[in-house]
Structure 1
Amino acid sequence: MGKPHNIGRIEAFSDAVFAFAATLMVVNFDMADNLAITKSNTTSFLSFFVSFFVLVAIWWVHYNFFRRTNYMDNVLIALNAILLFVALYYVFPLKTMVQSWMGEGVRSFEDLANLFVLYGVGFLLIFLCLSLMYYWAFKKTEQNADSLVLFFYARHFAIFVVVALISVVIAFSGIGLKFGFPGFVYGLIGPLCYWQSKHFTKTYESL
């Protein structure tokens, strides 16, 4: 007979990976030897600032998953491991993306397209893992009004996946790169999540 999984150890391991990702960002933070404030230093600081707080946001979303369910099995462990792997990978294209806003690191539209694709794939995989984790937990727990929260967030994060996929396709096609159009596509997340929330509430309000 199998023993129940220790969720505490899974959360502790996950937190260690997020801490390692933050450490990698610090190690890769560039500072001039004479501590002079230059454009390069400013760019490095801003890329570190944005990357760190995006990492915190991912950690917060991950933390909330474990607040909403006590269910755990091998499938969720595997999905969680993939999410952590991608989160480690995701930090570096994000830093490069911020540096490109400051006019550094990207020399051509092809470089910019590749960066948007790289960023989009990382974003897509992170929220695909989260969506699948929520859906799997919903399917494996007793379905009632409380468990519908899991189903709601499975659909909620599926929107992130779809929008990221659209952005990747646009970037790969080279459409609107001059104006950063693949990045502006992420602005669809807000309206679509709002619509999904209203539709979900209307559909399941009787439960």
Structure 2
Amino acid sequence: MSAGDDEASWRGHGVTRLEAFVDAAFAFAVTLLVISVDRIPDSIGALLQALKNVPAFAASFAMVAMFWYAHVRWSRRYRLGSVPATLLSLLLVFLVLVYVYPLRLLLGTFFAWITGGWLPMPLNDANGARPLAFMFTFYGLAFASMSACIGGLYALAWRARARQGLDGEAAANAAGEFASHAYFVLVGLLSVLIASLLTEDSRSWQVALPGSVYFLLSFTGLLHVAGQRWGARRWPARAED
């Protein structure tokens, strides 16, 4: 689908108060990810040290931006004003505000670990398998819970397809997005499960397994297509009705 066709299928170009609130909350969350949170660097050495936080900042920003844009697309295309949809949007805001700063600290710990200490370690006591297991558990729960919120919004859009007068393409897209985010939830929970099995005696390759699980997300496109096809069979195109 082209960008123009996608925009034409949106249900409105204005911004509701809830959407404005969600956007503002995500913008505030991004301000918590600034490169130097303590003070402005006053020397070249301090600046270089602050710049070493960029990978953790970028990874955290990418996650926040991904969920923000997922909510934007849902809002523009389906724009449900029901109580469950509002509660899921507010829950998404709550989760991102709770998780965002600890998420940056934990991702900073991860990057310090994979670079052998070249990138700064924000958590002084993150040594050994168990602290890293906690990091993966925290990240997995954050990823799974926020994915569940977005998936729930698309599930509501699918259930309201008749009331909203959705055509076959829009309904199939809702089914595909739900399948994708349900898959996100499963991958996040699988990472949490593997992390919970780690012990202090776990080897390096075992400690890396909870993070390696996220490579399974490369198959998301297949799940999205499968969900779309399922939705198309259940709700054929009705543009002429």
Q: TM-score, normalised by structure 2?
A: 0.74
Deviates more, 1:23-32 or 1:50-59: 23-32
Q: Secondary structure at the match of 2:44?
A: coil
Cα deviation digits, residues 23-73 of structure 1 (max 9, x gap): 222386345753333564233233223322322222111111112203221
Give the CA RMSD over aligned residues: 2.5
Looking at structure 1, the residues matched to 42 and 147 of structure 2 have their Cα atoms a distance apart, in angstroms, of 41
Alignment check: 8 A CA contact 2:176 2:225 kept: no
Q: Does 1:22 align with 2:30?
A: yes
Where in structure 2 are there 5+ consecutive unaligned residues?
1-13, 237-241
2:97 maps to amino acid: L
The 5 Å alignment of 1:20-169 reads: 20-26=28-34, 29-30=37-38, 33-37=41-45, 40-100=49-109, 101-102=111-112, 103=117, 104=121, 105=123, 106-142=126-162, 144-145=167-168, 146-169=170-193
Where in structure 1 are there 5+ consecutive unaligned residues?
1-5
Aligned twin of 1:178: 204
2:159 maps to amino acid: K
Q: How far off is 1:78 after superposition?
A: 0.6
2:34 maps to amino acid: V
Q: Secondary structure at the match of 1:121?
A: helix
- Structure 1 residues 28, 138: CA separation in 2 closer, same or farther (over 3 Å shift)? farther
Q: Secondary structure at the match of 2:16?
A: helix
Looking at structure 2, the residues matched to 177 and 93 of structure 1 have their Cα atoms a distance apart, in angstroms, of 26
Alignment check: 8 A CA contact 2:145 2:185 kept: yes
Choose between structure 1 and 2: higher helix proportion: 1
Who wins on radius of gyration, i.e. which is larger?
Answer: 2
1:131 maps to amino acid: G
Q: TM-score, normalised by structure 1?
A: 0.85
